[in-house]
């Protein structure tokens, strides 16, 4: 009797071992599948070519002066409209956007000043139109802003749930600052 029970116990243990092994293999397999799915997802995400659109108006120049440091500063009111819905896929966590003024001066080929930014958490929020003053100060390192031609660029960083972040921008050319301070 005692012997028989021992044999039975060891059989039970063997079964448990083999069940544990199988469960382990199943987990490893599903993790592999998941990794593969993530790779395919981020690949298909990269292949999807989005077509965002944006329109920005300068509604008002609120102030334009030379600071005591000799640097020009301009304060503006913007109307920023954009449709960034095509940046959103099931794999998109959120999108960071910023609007920058880009211009060249005799000293620097490219000056970039960030004027506004925002985080778009969902596709439902990706089509918007906002009237806002520049959130960050528009200051030149010098006094180069009078009559200055500049572009506004809308940059976006798409943060995916899995895979690599990607960034791109839209250039809205053809802006010009007033000829004189006000």
Q: Does 89 bind ligand NAG (CB under 6 A)?
A: no
Single residue of 15, 67, 131, 182 touching ligand NAG by CB under 6 A: 131
Site for ligand NAG in 19-48 (CB under 6 A): none
- Least separation in angstroms between residue 174's CB and ligand NAG is 8
**DSSP-derived secondary structure for 18-79:** HHHHHHHHHHHHHHHHHHHHHHHHHHHHHHS----EEEEEEEEEEEEEE-TTS-EEEEEEEE
Size of the site for ligand NAG (CB under 6 A): 14
Say whether residue 79 binds ligand NAG (CB under 6 A): yes
Radius of gyration of the chain (CA): 29
The reply on whether position 102 binds ligand NAG by CB under 6 A is yes
Query: Residue 23, Cα to own-chain centre: how many angstroms?
Result: 40
Nearest 10 degrees: Cα torsion 104, 108, 114, 115: -50
For residues 23 and 27, what is the distance between their CA atoms, to the nearest angstrom?
Answer: 6
Nearer to ligand NAG among residue 146 and residue 161 (C-beta): 146
Nearer to ligand NAG, 56 or 87 (CB): 56
Instruction: Give me the residues that bind ligand NAG (CB under 6 A), please.
Output: 55, 57, 59, 79, 81, 102-104, 110, 129, 131, 151, 171, 173
């Amino acid at each position: 009797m005692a012997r028989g029970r021992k044999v039975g116990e060891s059989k039970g243990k063997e079964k448990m071992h083999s069940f544990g092994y199988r469960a382990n293999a199943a987990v490893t397999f599903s993790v592999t599948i998941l990794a593969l799915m993530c790779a395919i997802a981020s690949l298909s995400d990269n292949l999807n070519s989005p077509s965002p659109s944006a329109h920005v108006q300068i509604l008002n120049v609120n102030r334009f002066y030379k600071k005591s440091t000799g640097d020009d500063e301009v304060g503006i009111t913007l109307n920023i409209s954009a449709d960034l819905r095509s940046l959103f896929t099931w794999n998109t966590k959120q999108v960071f956007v910023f609007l920058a003024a880009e211009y060249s001066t005799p000293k620097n080929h490219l000056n970039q000043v960030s004027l506004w930014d925002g985080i778009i958490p969902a596709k439902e929020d990706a089509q918007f139109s906002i009237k806002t003053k520049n959130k960050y100060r528009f200051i030149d390192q010098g006094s180069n802003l009078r009559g200055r031609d500049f572009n506004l660029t809308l940059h976006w960083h798409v943060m995916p749930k899995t895979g690599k972040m990607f960034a791109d921008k839209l250039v809205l050319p053809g802006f010009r600052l007033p000829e004189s301070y006000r």
